[in-house]
Chains A and B, each alone.
Chain A
């Protein structure tokens, strides 16, 4: 059987301008042209500030028709770049991909939704943007509305929708696409738990019943394990492993294990007004790891390029299977958390209570402002070990094991 996707030698090069956003102002180009001309005159040479970065390098794989493949890897491993190339949003710098079928990509829920338009109008608009024909949308219209459960609000502009309704409608349109190959990026991290379950069920149905080929990127190992038979592990822009899902997930956890407690630094992106530049965990230097029931500190370095008002920061913990198990929100502890923050560099030290059971946890930090996500970074891995002396094994129980007070009366 000829594979439905054959990728060989895929590479993607980005040129980073240090201390500068991805786009430039003509004014700066003109002024720098002036200084460069002056430099030539003075016969001085300035080192170039450009830096070349390969987000993907020599990536190759084949995927057969009907396969449901998970793509996993840490932050910055190249997952998003690969999806963007597969969905033709950006061309690769090197290599070639042969795709035998229609590709539908879902990199974000609700792409192109317009707040002023009604639910009905947005179904048509979003459907067309996702590549459906008008006839196709009309045929599926009732299913879409029913799945999203928004019958009553069909003629209301979506700007009046609750965020739950909005996401439900958006996912529903996307879930009714019928491409030969479906590419999905972490969209299940939206909506409430009930709806997430419904989404996973729908995706399972798409994959199993219709025999569709699905590429699925997620940090949620439980979802990957449930939906996919095989997986691809990306590491530093290269395919580290492709094979049965269980083995690949084990390899991924092994990678995470080896990087526990490593400080994570992020490449600055000047287009963001507020961003996370580093994440660290402080532990006692004498100890190899953090023991259960011990508090520990996470340091988050942030840069604000302008004054930001109303933003709040949250720290999310994922367990070994990628299940979200704890949220720490600044808004919970500090009434002024959404206060005005001035431009500058900050280090935020967060004391995390010792509520975690022994195991491996991944930390994600999110900065939100209303509906908008200002920045989202992950990759910090923390290992908690059992340092208790009691004879009952605690590993394998629930991820959270907060301290309780036990009193006999």
Chain B
């Protein structure tokens, strides 16, 4: 066995060995994600079906009210598949964001008693959502068959890229909120409201085109780029805008780095203030 030695001293902010450490603890990362999934599906009666049920029912309700009754435009494709493509990414983003931002508080008991790289916790909650995303994506495939859409081959490249962007956006923002949440415990009560508002300024239930000349305003929101590109590649609603994808990729990467920086900075005193 290799000798393992540790030096404990007043903590530095960030070093390369942090990444190495996360790699060493990858099994624990797996166990955290496994626990979250297991517990969630044990607590609901319909188990794993919940991951399918939730976006599906949302899609049906939205189609009924926004699609049929309000006649919201859907860029020329059937409204249900239009809104579901948006919802798929939106739900990944919003559930990952709300879970990561409270993950330190829900795991307070462990944080104050055992050492492990704290980044594992938010990381595992986002990973759990990737699995939900995978399950919910099956419905999209079904809907595509039903409505007779053949996806462009390019979507095999674009969709994973969009998933990465959403991953970075939700964990970047989530890490910042997680750090703030530890210090200011009232922030989490405002979060559901904040997420709900975000839903309306993101083109999930309506196409980005309705903003007309103000659509650049929507582009500030990285999820707008994600959802619009997803629709373009799967449904062919608009032409793919590679610049938009590129900008989103860079912007969310910076957001992620900023999130890690703020999280690591706060990490030093997590256990002291919990």
Contact = CB atoms under 8 A, between A and B. Distances in A.
A93 B8 CA distance: 11
Contacts of B39: 114, 116-117
A128 interface: yes
B7 interface: yes
Contact of A99 (B7, B116, B273): B7
B235 to A, nearest CB: 40
Contacts of A89: 111-115, 271
A111 B8 contact: no
A147 to B, nearest CB: 21
B6 A88 contact: yes
B9 A95 contact: yes
Contact of A116 (B8, B9, B43): B43
A97 B28 contact: no
Contacts of A117: 35, 38-39, 42
A25 B272 contact: no
A205 B35 CA distance: 32
B185 A23 contact: yes
A130 B38 CA distance: 20
B5 interface: yes
B268 interface: yes
A97 B110 contact: no
Contacts of A131: 114, 116
Nearest to A108: B113
Contacts of A245: none
A240 to B, nearest CB: 22
Interface string A125-152: 1001111011000000000000000000
A96 B9 contact: yes
A86 B115 CA distance: 10
B271 A111 contact: no
Contacts of B110: 111-112, 129
B8 A88 contact: yes
A39 to B, nearest CB: 22
Interface in B98-120: 109-116
A111 B109 CA distance: 7
A91 B113 contact: no
B38 A99 contact: no
Given A24-B183, A128-B28, A91 B10 contact: yes
A27 B112 CA distance: 25
Interface in B72-119: 109-116
A90 B43 contact: no
Given A101-B3, A117-B35, A130-B114, A23 B273 contact: yes
A40 interface: no
B257 interface: no
Contacts of B43: 116
Nearest to B272: A90
A92 B271 contact: no
B23 to A, nearest CB: 14
A246 interface: no
B8 A100 contact: no
A88 B115 contact: yes
Which residue of A23, A116, A180 has the most chain B CB atoms within 10 A of its CB atom? A23
Contacts of B4: 101-102, 180
Contacts of B115: 87-89, 103, 105
Given A26-B187, A88-B8, A112-B110, A125 B31 contact: yes
A22 interface: yes
B250 interface: no
B213 interface: no
B114 A105 contact: yes
Given A26-B184, A92-B10, A129-B28, A87 B272 contact: no
Interface string A58-101: 00000000000000000000000000111111111111111111
A84 B182 CA distance: 19
A112 B114 contact: yes
Which residue of B4, B111, B113, B184 has the most chain A CB atoms within 10 A of its CB atom? B113
B27 A134 contact: yes
A117 B34 CA distance: 11
A92 B272 CA distance: 11
A27 B186 contact: yes
Contacts of A134: 27
A108 B112 CA distance: 10
A129 B116 contact: yes
A25 B184 contact: yes
A133 B27 contact: yes
Contacts of A100: 3, 5
Contact of B185 (A25, A114, A133): A25
A133 B24 CA distance: 10
Contacts of A52: none
Given A91-B268, A105-B115, A114-B39, A23 B184 contact: yes
Contacts of A114: 35, 39
Contacts of A103: 6, 115
Contacts of B28: 128-129
Contacts of A101: 3-5
Contacts of A86: 8
A311 B274 CA distance: 23
Nearest to A136: B27
Given A101-B3, A133-B27, A94 B113 contact: no
Contacts of A25: 184-186
Contacts of A27: 186
Contacts of A124: 31
19 contacts: A23-B184, A24-B183, A24-B184, A29-B184, A88-B6, A89-B114, A89-B115, A89-B271, A91-B10, A93-B10, A96-B9, A97-B7, A97-B9, A98-B6, A98-B7, A105-B115, A108-B113, A111-B114, A128-B28
Given A95-B9, A96-B7, A129-B31, 17 more contacts: A23-B184, A23-B274, A24-B183, A87-B115, A89-B114, A90-B269, A91-B10, A92-B10, A96-B9, A97-B9, A102-B4, A111-B109, A112-B110, A112-B114, A114-B35, A117-B35, A130-B114
The 9 closest A-B pairs by CB, nearest first: A26-B184, A88-B115, A91-B11, A128-B31, A97-B8, A25-B186, A90-B271, A111-B113, A96-B9
